[in-house]
Amino acid sequence: MKIGNRMFDVEHDCYIMGILNVTPDSFSDGGKWNDMDRAIRHTGDMIREGAAIIDVGGESTRPGHVQISIQEEIDRVVPVIEMIKKNFDIPVSIDSYKGPVVEEALKAGADLVNDIWGLKYDRTVAGLIAKYQVPCCLMHNREKAEYNSFLDDMCQDMRDSLAIAKEAGIDDSQIILDPGVGFGKVYEHNLTAILHLERLVELGYPVLLATSRKSVIGTALDLPTDQRVEGTLVTTVMGVEKGASFIRVHDVKENLRAIRMTQAILREGK
């Protein structure tokens, strides 16, 4: 898969997507990187630690978050995307589900669209992805955590997102799937989605796992957000074992080491 100017071996390797939240209220790092100097330093740090993609988000999507205006989100993310593209040679993802934000981000140089609603919130996003011919990450989400058969329903929801993508003209080679840990799910659903990540892999697309510091880890370990690195590492190892091609995290260095160690065991320890 080509993202920006880089090729990714999604069949045989696993890559880090580093999180850059330029928000004052994200659940884990709100306010830490929402000025340009700190954002550029943190981007450089993540690249040095091994991030292969930088994911820029301008609106918190934590539980209970308040949706901001489209213009405010644009004002937050566009200058940061432009800054990254000017100063670093790395693909950039825009973490948004709103058409106008996605379009301005793509104009600014974003290389991938990361949509937490799997193209279902704003159908214009699918058309923009096709128009700009960029890859996309389609995440599973629901307004309510109500399921008849969780894994079956999750996979069907993903097929619905894929149908929207295909109708818009997005090529299969441009699609990544994300189980949406922490979105439209209760605690047990989140654990099940991680344990059975192969169900998404079996749909035939690269899979991204995004569990970094999330509430499922906090609940399992009874720990605050700044003490969930070890829990995140366990999910990363399981993600690699299950066939994930991308891992989206805050703590790049630690998770990349966990990926590499897991890969060494899987490749050489047969």
* Residues with active-site annotation: 214, 248
Alpha-carbon distance of 253 to 260, in angstroms, equals: 11
Distance CA 154, CA 151 (A): 5
Amino acid at 197: L
Tokens of 67: 């949706």
The two structure tokens encoding residue 189: 């659903």
If residue 245 lies in a helix (H) or strand (E), which one and from where to where? Answer: none
CB 94 within 8 A of CB 137: no
Other Cβ atoms less than 10 A from the Cβ of 30: the count is 15
Encoded tokens for 231: 């829990």
Helices (H) and strands (E) in the chain, counts: 10, 10
What are the residues whose beta carbons fall under 8 Å from the beta carbon of 89, sequence distance 6 or more?
A: 5
